[in-house]
Each structure stands twice: as C-alpha cells, then as structure tokens.
Amino acid sequence: MSEPTQVALELDDVQRGALSPRPTPYAATYLVFRVDDRADGRELMRRASAVVTSAVDPVSPLGDTWVSVAVTCYGLAALGVPRGSLDTFGWEFRQGMAARATALGDVGESSPANWEAPLGTPDVHVVLAAVAPDVPRLEEAVDRARPAYDRLAGVTAIWRQDCYALPTETEHFGYRDGVSHPAVEGSGIPGSNQLEVPLKAGEFVLGYRDEIGGIQTPQLSLPS
C-alpha cells in the first residue's frame, strides 16, 4: 500500500484568516459592502488583494493581526461572474446561510427573519474582516485596508460590526470561545490539540481533497 501524498499548500495564495486561530484576547471589525457598479467592485477586489494578509509567514510581526476578504455568491454575480461559473461552486455556497437556516438550526428567535439587516439578504456582496490582539493594532489594520474601499462610488458600505473579547475571556453569549483550533493539513500551522489528526485542506481551501475525498474546483471566469 502506497504512502499518502503529502499536501503542501500554496500559503502565499491563502488568506491568513482561513488557517489561523484568532488571537487571545482579540479585537475585530467586520465591514459589509454592496457592489452597485461592476467596474468599481472589481477595483475593490484589486485593491483588497494588496492589503489581505497571506498565511505564508505565521511568525511575522503581523502574524496575529490580519485582514481577510470574503465574497458571497451574490457578490460574485455583482462582479460579473457568469452563471455558468457560479454553478460550478458548491451548492451550500450558492444557496447561502439564510436559505439553509433550517438545516443549520437557525430557527425560531434565531431565524433569518430576526437577523439584523442587511445580513442574510442579497445585498451582502463583500465582507472585509480585520482581526488583531488589541484595539490599537486593529485600528492600524483597518487604516491599512481603508484605501481598498475608499472613494469608490459604486461600492457602498452597508453594515459594520466591531467585536472584542470580554475580560472574562468568554464571548458575549457566555461561552468560552477559541479553546480548540484544528490544524489544517499542509499549512504548517499547529492546532491546539497535538494529538488530533490535521483536517484535510479541502475543508478550508478550494482545489484540495476534503474529509470525504472530494475536491471542489470551481471554474471562475470573468467576461472581458
């Protein structure tokens, strides 16, 4: 029986926030944008690529401070990604969390009808997240990211959430958060439990094998 192939992630092409545990304590800011103009939306993504923190050097001075960007399926459509390309993404991504609320247990008081607007709506296109060990370093990270979205008339900031760790080191619902963080195969970033087998990279990064042996390889293309 042959030995399993060792996975080596292209860490310079993976966002730091996808693989690393949150610092303890931490401060964070989440900014949500709606793309009203395709050209400005693409310019936002071009600028954001220059400020997003990669996972290539987890021991760098910025190792515990990073900026990440996420794009929803609605966001990809607003950027001009053709329907044929969108259909190659996983169905969970295409449906979105609001449509999957029952399966996820978001019912009753936690149902999408009670979510703070605009969360769960088609207006959520791009999310920019900044995370740091404290507020001063968080503000520095946000200041570095501001040029990515500043002065783009076709991109509208529609929601902001500031987060922080309580002095008790519990999150705001009373739970002790961040006590366990899995290692991801090929990342070189250790997990919190040294006895735990690293999770397959495909659970977090497209193009790699996941825990059930599948590989998601969406075909992303933009019209000229």
Listed residue (19, 54, 26, 52) closest to 137, CA to CA? 26
Apex CA 21: angle with CA 89 and CA 9, to 5°?
A: 50
pTM for the predicted model, two decimal places: 0.90
pLDDT digits (tens, 9 = 90+) for 139-179: 999 999 999 999 999 999 999 999 888 777 777 777 777 77
pLDDT digits (tens, 9 = 90+) for 84-102: 999 999 999 999 999 999 9
The SS3 assignment for 146 reads helix
The span from the CA of 202 to the CA of 151, in Å, is 36
The span from the CA of 7 to the CA of 186, in Å, is 5
